[in-house]
C-alpha cells in the first residue's frame, strides 16, 4: 500500500478496500496476529492487528525498517512464450528477488504481442509481479518494463552485466558468477529464450554487444524453469 510518510513504532497503520477484504476474508487475519505491510519501495512494517473487518484492517506498528535494494540487482529478460510459460517465469523470478522484468519479443517467440497486447500483457505481468511480491513478503516490487526487441536487449549491456542463458553456452553459470569481482555492482541481467530457444543471429548480436553465454547444467529446461533456476543459483552464490 502507499504511505504518505513512513509510520513510526506505535502508530496505527490501516488497510482498506480490496486489500483489507483479501487479508480478512482470504488470509483470515484476526486481531492479535502479526502482519507485514510494505510500500513496494523498501519499507517493511511489522504490525500487530488490533481490529479487522472485511473493509478495514487496523494494526499497531511494532518494527519499521527501510530495506535497501540488494546489489547487484537481478533482472530477468524473458522471451515471450506460449501458454502461461512466460507468466510462470515472471511469478517465480519475482519470488526469487528480481528487481525488474523485461518481456522480450524474440525471433522464435510463438506468442506475439501486438500494440494492444503490449499494453495488456505488460499490465498482466505487472499484476503477477505484484501478487508474487506480496506473497513472498518482498520489500521491493519488481518493475515490469515495456516490451523489448533485440536491439533493446543488446542496449542493456551498456550498464548491466548481461548473461544469456544458452544450453550450448561455453561457460557454466556457476563458474561465471564465482569469477565475478565482488566490487562489480552492475545489475545482472538474465536473458531467457522462448520455447524454441535463442536464434544464432540473436546470440551473435548480443555477444557482440558484450553479453556472455552461460549454461545451466546439462539438461534442457523449459523457458519457465530456466530463469528461476538460474536465479536460485545466483542468489545462493551471492549469499542471499
Ligand atoms: N532447443 C532450445 C535451445 O537449444 O535453445 C531449447 C530452448 S529452452 C526450452 C528455452 C530457454 O531456456 C533457452 O533459450 C535458454 O535461454 C533456457 N535454457 C534451457 N535450458 C538451459 C540450460 N541447460 N542452460 C542454459 N539455458 C537454458
CB of 222 closer than 6 A to ligand 1?
Answer: yes
Atom in ligand 1 nearest the alpha carbon of residue 193: 14
pLDDT at 6 (0 to 100) = 84
CATH class of the domain defined by 12-66: mainly beta
Which residues make up the CATH 3.40.1280.10 domain(s) of the chain? 74-237
Determine the distance separating the centroid of ligand 1 and the alpha carbon of 231, expressed in angstroms.
14
Numbers of helices and strands, H then E, in the chain: 7, 11
Task: For residue 102, list its beta bridge partners.
Answer: 77
pLDDT tens per residue, the chain (240 residues)? 667 778 999 999 998 888 889 888 988 999 999 999 999 999 999 999 999 988 899 999 999 999 999 999 999 999 999 999 999 999 999 999 999 999 999 999 999 999 999 999 999 999 999 999 999 999 999 999 999 999 999 999 999 999 999 999 999 999 999 999 989 999 999 999 999 999 999 999 999 999 999 999 999 999 999 999 999 999 999 998
Q: Cell digits for 46?
A: 511489522
Q: Cell digits for 179?
A: 569469477
Pocket test for ligand 1, best of 173, 226, 230 (most atoms within 8 A of CB): 226
pLDDT at 54 (0 to 100) = 83
Give yes or no for a contact between 50 and 60, defined as CB atoms under 8 angstroms apart. Answer: yes
Q: Cell digits for 206?
A: 548480443
Task: For residues 34 and 5, give the distance between their C-alpha atoms in angstroms, rounded to a whole number.
Answer: 21
CB of 197 closer than 6 A to ligand 1?
Answer: yes
Which residues make up the CATH 2.40.240.20 domain(s) of the chain? 12-66
- 74-237 has which fold? Alpha/beta knot (3.40.1280)
- Let me know the angle formed at the C-alpha of 12 by 10 and 16, rounded to the nearest 5 degrees: 155
Q: Is the pTM of this model over 0.90?
A: yes
Pocket test for ligand 1, best of 107, 167, 190 (most atoms within 8 A of CB): 167
Query: What is this model's ipTM?
Result: 0.98
Please tell me the residue having the least CA distance from ligand 1 atom 19.
221
Give yes or no for a contact between 78 and 198, defined as CB atoms under 8 angstroms apart. Answer: no
pLDDT at 82 (0 to 100) = 94
Amino acid at each position: 500500500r502507499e504511505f504518505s510518510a513512513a509510520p513510526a513504532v506505535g502508530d496505527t497503520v490501516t488497510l482498506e478496500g480490496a486489500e483489507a477484504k483479501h487479508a480478512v476474508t482470504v488470509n483470515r487475519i484476526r486481531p492479535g496476529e502479526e502482519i507485514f505491510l510494505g510500500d513496494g519501495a523498501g519499507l517493511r512494517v511489522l504490525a500487530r492487528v488490533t481490529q479487522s473487518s472485511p473493509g478495514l484492517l487496523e494494526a499497531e506498528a511494532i518494527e519499521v525498517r527501510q530495506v535497501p535494494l540488494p546489489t547487484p540487482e537481478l533482472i530477468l529478460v524473458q522471451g515471450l512464450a506460449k501458454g502461461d510459460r512466460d507468466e510462470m517465469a515472471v511469478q517465480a523470478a519475482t519470488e526469487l528477488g528480481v528487481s525488474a522484468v523485461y518481456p522480450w519479443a524474440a525471433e522464435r517467440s510463438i506468442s506475439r504481442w501486438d500494440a494492444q497486447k503490449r499494453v495488456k500483457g505488460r499490465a498482466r505481468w505487472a499484476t503477477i509481479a505484484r501478487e508474487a511480491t506480496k506473497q513472498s513478503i518482498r520489500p521491493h516490487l519488481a518493475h515490469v518494463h515495456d516490451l523489448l526487441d533485440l536491439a533493446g536487449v543488446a542496449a542493456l549491456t551498456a550498464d548491466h552485466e548481461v548473461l544469456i542463458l544458452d544450453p550450448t553456452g561455453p561457460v557454466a553459470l556457476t563458474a561465471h558468477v564465482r569469477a565475478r569481482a565482488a566490487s562489480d555492482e552492475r545489475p545482472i541481467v538474465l536473458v531467457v529464450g522462448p520455447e524454441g530457444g535463442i536464434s544464432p543471429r540473436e546470440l551473435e548480436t548480443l555477444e557482440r554487444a558484450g553479453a556472455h553465454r552461460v549454461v545451466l547444467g546439462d539438461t534442457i529446461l523449459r523457458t519457465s524453469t530456466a530463469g528461476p533456476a538460474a536465479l536460485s543459483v545466483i542468489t545462493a552464490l551471492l549469499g542471499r
